[in-house]
């Protein structure tokens, strides 16, 4: 089965801009990540259009609520036919288990992954919340909790992938943003890794936005990355 490792982040404010980019991509080479801005603007209808064109969707809405509410939201995402959906691991074990159970018996069971610690959170931000752990300690703790709660994986930086791989099974998905081909601009990402290195460190899927979406020729950029990681899949 075709299982493209590249997930293109569609960080666009409106449906048309996203559709224009997607018209230049190929579903055999990538999946698409739709986040809060685009989903709030364009909703399920846009996902339907992408899916009609053969693309699978990572719906990146990072649910975090009481177990029942999160579970129902995940079930609704499954009904849309998305390939992957996510929750915050900070919602806790009961929430993650409820979400897992809610998608378990759906017709198109999506992969359910957890966000551990947002990369925008530094030590001081955690202290302010009353959390004594370092960001790295908390990432490991939350990834283990997601694994123990039966989730399919976590979103993490490629730098964390090798360490998390030691504590989780082979089948556990590590979805990594902060990916930059050697010849591209880091933009606002501070800890970056090349697509090839990320997979070698244990990443399962690579979330890549601007190196593809802002390229003069997005398909060429996508093809180049796909070529770089060929054989690693
Ligand atoms: O354009 P770029 O490749 O930096 O886009 C990366 C995508 O991954 C964006 O949608 C960003 O919000 C997301 N992301 C991230 N870092 C995280 C979690 C998600 O860059 N820790």
pLDDT, tens only, 66-119: 999 999 999 999 999 999 999 999 999 999 999 999 999 899 999 999 999 998
183 close to 144: Cβ distance less than 8 angstroms: no
Closest to 9 in 3D by CA, of 37, 35, 39: 35
Pocket probe mutation, ligand 1, options 7, 9, 57, max atoms within 8 Å of Cβ: 9
Catalytic center residues? 62
The count of other CB atoms within 10 Å of the CB of residue 28 is: 10
Q: Does 6 have pLDDT greater than 90?
A: yes
Q: How far apart are CA 67 and CA 95, in angstroms?
A: 4
Distance of alpha carbon 95 from alpha carbon 148, whole angstroms: 12
Please list every protein residue whose CB sits less than 6 Å from any atom of ligand 1: 9, 11, 35, 119, 155, 177-178, 187, 189, 207-210
Is the torsion defined by CA of 113, 108, 11, 175 positive or negative? positive
Residue owning the nearest CA to atom 8 of ligand 1: 177
Residue 226 per-residue DSSP state? H
pLDDT at residue number 183:
87
Q: Is 141 left (phi over 0), alpha (psi -120 to 50) or beta?
A: alpha
Nearest protein CA to atom 16 of ligand 1, as residue: 177
Ligand 1 center to 105 CA (angstroms): 30
Question: Given this model, what pLDDT does residue 119 score?
Answer: 86
What the chain holds in terms of domains, given with CATH numbers, is: 6-228 (3.20.20.70)
Give CA–CA dist 219/24, Å, rounded. 6
* Predicted local confidence at residue 233, as pLDDT: 62
Task: Give 163-198 pLDDT, tens digit per residue.
Answer: 999 999 999 999 999 999 998 898 988 889 999 999
Whether pLDDT at 1 is above 80:
no
Average pLDDT over residues 26-43: 98
**Residue 14: band (very low, low, confident or very high) from pLDDT cuts 50, 70, 90:** very high
Q: Give all strands (DSSP E) within the chain, no chain letters.
A: 6-9, 30-35, 57-63, 84-88, 111-115, 153-155, 173-176, 205-208
Whole-number average pLDDT of the chain: 96
CA 81 / ligand 1 centre spacing (Å): 23
Whole-structure pTM value: 0.96
């Amino acid at each position: 089965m075709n299982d493209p490792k590249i997930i293109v982040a569609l960080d666009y404010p409106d449906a048309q801009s996203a559709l224009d980019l997607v018209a230049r991509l190929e579903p055999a080479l990538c999946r698409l990540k739709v986040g809060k801005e685009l989903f709030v603007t364009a909703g399920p209808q846009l996902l339907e259009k992408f899916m009609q064109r053969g693309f699978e969707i990572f719906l990146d809405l990072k649910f975090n609520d009481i177990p029942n509410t999160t579970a129902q939201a995940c079930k609704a995402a499954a009904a849309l036919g998305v390939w992957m959906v996510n929750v915050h691991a900070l919602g806790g074990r009961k929430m993650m288990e409820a979400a897992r159970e809610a998608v378990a018996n759906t017709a198109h069971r999506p992969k359910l992954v957890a966000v551990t610690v947002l990369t925008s959170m530094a030590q001081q931000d955690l202290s302010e919340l009353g959390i004594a752990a370092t960001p790295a300690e908390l990432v490991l703790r939350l990834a283990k909790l997601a694994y123990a709660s039966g989730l399919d994986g976590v979103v993490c930086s490629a730098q964390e992938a090798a360490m998390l791989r030691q504590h989780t099974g082979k089948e556990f998905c590590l979805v990594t943003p902060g990916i930059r081909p050697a010849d591209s601009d880091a933009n606002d990402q501070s800890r970056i890794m090349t697509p090839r290195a990320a997979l070698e460190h244990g990443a399962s899927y690579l979330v890549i936005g601007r190196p593809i979406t802002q390229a003069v020729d997005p398909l060429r950029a996508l093809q180049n990355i796909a070529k770089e990681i060929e054989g690693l899949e």
